[in-house]
């Protein structure tokens, strides 16, 4: 395998791709990046390419702000045109977004092998668009790179051992990114000073999942809870632009601290200094664990079940009372062991496997 086309579109994928792109280059593999445009503004896209020194995309599709079907369909059409022209040896996709599924489908339909990084995750909730995306992407992938033993078990339970694919447990590439960039982030970011914060004096929270933002009752429950928690500890919320629009429609205004979306380095430093994390993000659940911070997940299920089993994470859903109770129960908890996701060499393992594929 000599040439790989990588499909990226959303903030978490930029973070995951950074160590892998570096490892591919070191291994002598040629990579071309297609940016679908799913996350497109400076704060959600451009800053990550600049800070993390990810190779610039060869193609930018500018597909965004559409419904799931329209977005996925338009990405599929545009990615297919590029793949037919460039004929890479394989297509690499990350995670569970519309960009992930569109890239995988485009490749599979013209018989280009699909490499799926972060395979085998399951929340077991088919109402989540992400669950649909990850299951379908796994099924049409030729090489499935899993971050945990749980992910490998999920695939085998679904019969993947009978499919013409290769399953590899390599660890989590997001852990690679944290280890590689943390010292640089500490030197370059002034976010704590800029926001007037002190170490361990605040909690970080994020809200962006459609299952929360698109349902006023759930969003109201989360806002009420964060308002209540804010009476005890400063709750700082880097707010996704779409969530900000939804908040403006609620009867109860947010009383916690709202800031603009953060770049990767700023967020690393925030996590390094925070006392706790509250989030509906899959990636942030893991990053909280990497920094040994307890996480309250503002969802009813999580694909990172091993975090719940390890006592590092609790599912609180979107009911205000449950979220506040979870905060009071865990506000002084600390995480002793942060080694569920490998040793920080997942990208190197991926590159080495692809060199021989």
Catalytic residues: 208
Distance between first and last Cα of the chain: 6
Closest CA to 217 of 320, 129, 321: 320
Q: Which two tokens stand for residue 79?
A: 């990615």
User: Using CA of residue 224, residue 227, residue 228, residue 229, what is the dihedral sign?
Assistant: positive
**Going by C-beta distance under 8 Å and a sequence separation of 6 or more, which residues neighbour residue 350?**
20, 23, 117, 145, 170, 173
CA distance 251 to 239: 18
With vertex at residue 115, the alpha carbon angle to CA 180 and CA 69, rounded to the nearest 5 degrees, is 105
Q: Are 170 and 349 in contact (CB under 8 A)?
A: yes
Which residue's structure tokens are 């070191």?
26
């Amino acid at each position: 395998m000599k040439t790989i086309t990588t499909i990226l579109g959303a903030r978490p994928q930029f973070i995951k791709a950074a160590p892998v792109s570096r490892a591919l280059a070191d291994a002598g593999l040629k990579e071309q990046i297609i940016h679908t445009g799913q996350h497109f503004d400076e704060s959600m896209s451009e800053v990550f390419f600049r800070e993390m020194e990810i190779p610039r995309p060869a193609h930018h599709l500018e597909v965004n702000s559409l419904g799931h079907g329209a977005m996925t369909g338009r990405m599929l059409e545009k990615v297919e045109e590029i793949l037919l022209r460039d004929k890479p040896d394989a297509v690499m996709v990350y995670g569970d977004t519309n960009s992930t599924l569109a890239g995988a489908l485009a490749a599979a339909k013209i018989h280009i092998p699909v490499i799926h990084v972060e395979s085998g995750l399951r929340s077991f909730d088919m109402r989540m668009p992400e669950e649909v995306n990850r299951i379908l992407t796994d099924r049409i992938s030729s090489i499935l790179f899993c971050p945990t033993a749980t992910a490998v078990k999920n695939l085998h339970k679904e019969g993947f051992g009978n499919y013409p694919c290769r399953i590899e447990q390599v660890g989590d590439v997001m852990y690679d990114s944290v280890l590689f960039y943390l010292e640089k982030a500490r030197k370059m970011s002034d976010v704590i000073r800029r926001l007037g914060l002190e170490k361990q004096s605040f909690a970080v929270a994020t809200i962006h999942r459609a299952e929360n933002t698109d349902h006023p009752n759930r969003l109201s429950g989360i806002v009420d809870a964060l308002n209540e928690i804010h009476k005890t500890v400063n709750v700082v919320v880097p707010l996704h632009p779409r969530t900000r629009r939804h908040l403006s429609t609620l009867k109860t205004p947010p009383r916690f601290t709202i800031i603009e979306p953060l770049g990767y380095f700023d967020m690393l430093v925030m996590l390094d200094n925070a006392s706790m994390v509250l989030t509906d993000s899959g990636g942030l659940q893991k990053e909280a664990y990497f920094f040994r911070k307890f996480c309250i997940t503002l969802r009813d299920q999580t694909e990172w079940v091993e975090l719940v089993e390890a006592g590092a994470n609790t599912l609180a859903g979107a009911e205000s009372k449950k979220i506040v109770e979870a905060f009071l129960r865990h506000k002084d908890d600390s995480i002793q062991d942060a080694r569920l996701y490998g040793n920080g060499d997942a990208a190197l393992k991926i590159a080495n496997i692809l060199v021989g594929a």
